[in-house]
Amino acid sequence: MTDKVVIYQSADGQAFLDVRLEQETVWLSQKQMAELLDKDTDTIGLHIRNIYKEGELEPDATTEESSVVQNEGNRKVRRKLKFYNLDVIISVGYRVKSQRGTQFRQWATKVLREHLVQGFTINQQRLEEQSQKLAEMQQAVELLSRTLEQQQLVNDLGKDVLKVIADYAYALDLLDRYDHGTLSIEKTSGTTDFVLDYKSANEIVLSMKGNFEGLFGIEKDQGFKSAIGTIYQTFDGKELYPSAEEKAANLLYFIVKNHAFSDGNKRIAAALFIYFLNSNNILYRADGSKRLADNTLVALTLLIAESKPEEKDTIVKVVVNLINRCN
């Protein structure tokens, strides 16, 4: 528990407390609640037990333990104390029905509202500033790109600069759409005649074994075969992943996530991803350059490995947008 503290003093001047603020709520110990509401700790404890017994609140969601130093006689002793959040405090306050409780509820509502509004305002300002900076960067990139084209810089340095700028502009646009939840699958190459089967995929794995030792490429279950079959699934006569890019992205995802091999899942997934792209003539651009840099492939593979299941659709969209015709 953090030690962000707000000082509270009741309207009658009798109660004076250090109130802990964390996670946009207030935390008090049982002793502090007793002092606040002008009741003994046994009464407060009874109300708290009834609140949980009646199912009004859940203990796990409304309590926190914190280590505090307190005076016991002539000694200072560190003890673990249980703190209760604003939901419990208000509920106890209503049950006690004291004037002090009413005063505290009014104060807490006012303070928390100020913190919430202030926090929202700060976050909103940051979002607006980031969006503005992104827009400015995009405009600058587009302007510089047009300038280079108009000046017809044909030397190697000019071409390299123009390529970097073009790639950077697309990356900025991709990040912008990701941040705003507008990322979609678009401008793919469509369907393809190439079909990856388990036999040819397994041959690639076998060819890789010479470069790696130990348990590399040893299948534990049917997960590898399932990953390959899944990218060709249909529903109501239509493919779930109609384009080559969507199949490739899902192939990479499923092989990584299925953990079908004792060792080498990520390496095998990346290798088959490259093989699939090349077999569909989308591994390279028209000028012969790779659509996906080596370090980008490594980053995407690791990203998939660390991702949560509910993030699958977003990750697949990112992969597709990095290998589609726009890139």
CB 23: neighbour CB atoms within 10 A? 9
For residues 232 and 134, membership in a common domain is answered with no
Please give the structure tokens belonging to residue 215.
Answer: 């348990």
For residues 226 and 168, membership in a common domain is answered with no
Query: In sequence order, which residues have a C-beta less than 8 Å from that of residue 14 and are 6 or more positions away?
Result: 38, 100
Q: How far apart are CA 295 and CA 321, in angstroms?
A: 16
185 within domain boundaries: no
Query: Which amino acid is present at 51?
Result: I
- Sheet with 5-9, strands from edge to edge, namely 5-9, 16-22, 25-29, 75-84, 63-72
CB 81, CB 72: distance < 8 Å:
no
Q: How far apart are CA 323 and CA 284, in angstroms?
A: 9
Confidence of residue 24 (pLDDT cuts 50, 70, 90): low
* Average pLDDT over the chain, rounded to an integer: 77
Q: What is the pLDDT of residue 2?
A: 43
Q: What is the mean pLDDT of residues 211-216?
A: 87
188 within domain boundaries: no
DSSP codes of every residue in 114-129: HHHHHHHHHHHHHHHH
Q: How far apart are CA 172 and CA 163, in angstroms?
A: 14
Q: What is the pLDDT of residue 5?
A: 40
Q: What is the pLDDT of residue 3?
A: 43
Bigger pLDDT: 220 or 28?
220
For residues 61 and 153, membership in a common domain is answered with no
For residues 45 and 94, membership in a common domain is answered with yes
Q: How far apart are CA 45 and CA 33, in angstroms?
A: 10
DSSP code, position 219: B
Confidence of residue 121 (pLDDT cuts 50, 70, 90): low
Q: In terms of residue numbers, what domain contains 48? A: 5-119
For residues 107 and 24, membership in a common domain is answered with yes
Q: Is the pLDDT of residue 191 over 80?
A: no
187 within domain boundaries: no
**Reported pTM:** 0.49
Q: What is the pLDDT of residue 102?
A: 73
CA distances from 196 to 68, 189, 200, 204, 265 (A): 62, 17, 7, 11, 18
Q: How far apart are CA 82 and CA 95, in angstroms?
A: 20
Q: What is the mean pLDDT of residues 97-106?
A: 72
For residues 106 and 164, membership in a common domain is answered with no
Q: How far apart are CA 241 and CA 110, in angstroms?
A: 52
Query: Which amino acid is present at 4?
Result: K
For residues 40 and 107, membership in a common domain is answered with yes
Query: Which amino acid is present at 191?
Result: T
How many Cα atoms sit within 13 Å of 69 on the Cβ side? 4
Confidence of residue 49 (pLDDT cuts 50, 70, 90): very high
pLDDT in tens, 59-101: 988 898 877 766 777 777 787 888 888 788 878 877 887 777 7
| 3-state SS class at 75 | strand
CB 108, CB 93: distance < 8 Å:
no
Q: What is the pLDDT of residue 22?
A: 56
Last residue of a domain, one of 119, 141, 160: 119
DSSP codes of every residue in 170-217: HHHHHHHHHHTT-----S-----S----HHHHHHHHHHHGGGS-TTBT
For residues 297 and 206, membership in a common domain is answered with yes
Please give the structure tokens belonging to residue 266.
Answer: 């990520």
Query: Which amino acid is present at 240?
Result: L
190 within domain boundaries: no
192 within domain boundaries: no
Q: b/e string for 300-327 if b means 16 or more Cβ within 10 A? A: bbeebeeeeeeeeeebbbbbbbbbbeeb
Bigger pLDDT: 96 or 196?
196
CB 201, CB 232: distance < 8 Å:
no
For residues 233 and 284, membership in a common domain is answered with yes
